[in-house]
Amino acid sequence: MNPNHNPQSSDGGRHDDDAALTEFLASLMDYTPTIPDELVEHYLAKSGFQSPDLRLTRLVAVATQKFVAEVAGDALQHCKARQATIPKDKRDRQQKDKRLVLTMEDLTKALHDV
């Protein structure tokens, strides 16, 4: 029973996941990632990745975008944290708060955690 049961459940689960994935890949075609397709295709071709399917390139683009967004988010956190710790009078701090600039310092800290 158990061996029969497990494949069924796993089959069902796989089916759901499969459906979800296909749905996701289909939705990718509607979504335009920030990183353009041509750039992704160029660098994938450089590394030997062969795929005639556009969905896979979109998947790679989205994954890279997620990665960069995460790094940028971490850097932003570091930047805000740094601004909070610097003791300045109200006027200066308000001015600085408006300008959130990505610096090498914050970037190295963010990339270090990756």
Partner 1 sequence: MGFTYPTNGNPNRRTIDHGGVGGRASSDEFGRAVSRIAVAQICESAGFNGVKNSAIEALSDVTIRYLIDLGKIAEFYANLAGRSQCSVFDLILGLEDLEQVKGFIGSGQSQCLLGSGTVRDLMRFVNCGDEVPFAQPIPNFPVIRQRKVIPSFLQMGEAPPSKHIPPWLPALPDPHTYIHTPMWDERTSDPREDKVEQARQRRKAERSLLSLQKRLLLCSGSVETRNTTSNVVVLSGGGASLRQGEGEGGDKNPYLKAPVDNKDVSPVPLPGKLSDDVDMIANHVSVLEAFAPAIEMMRSSGVLCEDDGMQGRTGWKKAYPRVLGYEESEEGCFTNSGLGW
Asked if residue 67 lies in contact with residue 99, where contact means CB atoms within 8 angstroms, the answer is no
Give the CA distances from residue 99 to residues 8, 79, 80, in Å, rounded to whole numbers and listed in that order.
56, 10, 10
Please name the amino acid found at residue 28: L
The minimum distance between CB 69 and partner 1, in angstroms, equals 6
Subset of residues 60 to 99 that bind partner 1, contact rule: CB under 8 A = 60, 62-69, 71-73, 75-76, 79, 98-99
Subset of residues 23 to 62 that bind partner 1, contact rule: CB under 8 A = 24-25, 27-28, 31-32, 34-36, 38-40, 42-44, 46-52, 55-56, 59-60, 62
Q: Which is nearer to partner 1, 21 or 84 (by Cβ)? A: 21
Q: Which residue has the tokens 């979504």?
A: 31
Long-range contacts of 83-90 (CB under 8 A, 24+ apart): none
Given phi > 0 = left and psi -120 to 50 = alpha, else beta, which region is 23? alpha
Binding site for partner 1 (CB under 8 A): 10, 13-14, 17-18, 20-21, 24-25, 27-28, 31-32, 34-36, 38-40, 42-44, 46-52, 55-56, 59-60, 62-69, 71-73, 75-76, 79, 98-104, 106-107, 111, 113-114
